[in-house]
């Protein structure tokens, strides 16, 4: 699944993404730290994984990455 960076605080490492459906999902610092990325810019497209149905309450963003960047990610 893909989403766009909606907010990002470089000091805390937390932020949120905007799904293509218009729903905003926050992510905590540890998800950003685990991504191996050093910075995100507003509007940047990301690949994401979530815990459950992204349109239901209680869904959490569990992983974010950019295809081709990071361990095991190949550019297609």
Q: Residue 33 CB: number of other CB atoms within 10 A?
A: 10
Nearest to 7, CA basis, from 70, 73, 61: 61
Q: List the domain range (segments joined by +) for residue 46.
A: 2-65
Check which CATH number belongs to the domain holding 6 and give it: 2.40.50.140
Q: What is the pLDDT of residue 29?
A: 96
Q: What is the pLDDT of residue 64?
A: 93
pLDDT digits (tens, 9 = 90+) for 15-72: 999 999 999 999 999 999 998 899 999 999 999 999 988 888 888 999 999 876 666 6
Q: How many domains does the chain have?
A: 1
- Asked if residue 72 belongs to a domain, the reply is no
- Asked if residue 70 belongs to a domain, the reply is no
**pTM value > 0.95:** no
Q: What is the pLDDT of residue 66?
A: 86
What are the DSSP calls for 2-39, one per residue? EEEEEEE-TTT--EEEEETTS-EEEE-HHHHHHHT-S-
pLDDT at residue 73 is higher than 80: no
Residue 34 phi/psi, 5-degree rounding, is -70, -15
- Asked if residue 37 belongs to a domain, the reply is yes
């Amino acid at each position: 699944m893909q989403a766009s960076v909606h907010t990002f605080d470089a000091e805390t490492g937390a932020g949120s993404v905007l799904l293509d459906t218009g729903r905003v999902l926050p992510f905590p610092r540890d998800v950003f730290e685990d991504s191996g990325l050093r910075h995100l810019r507003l509007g940047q497209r990301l690949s994401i994984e979530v815990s459950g149905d992204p349109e239901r309450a209680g869904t959490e963003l569990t992983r974010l990455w950019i295809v081709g960047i990071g361990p095991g990610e190949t550019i297609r």
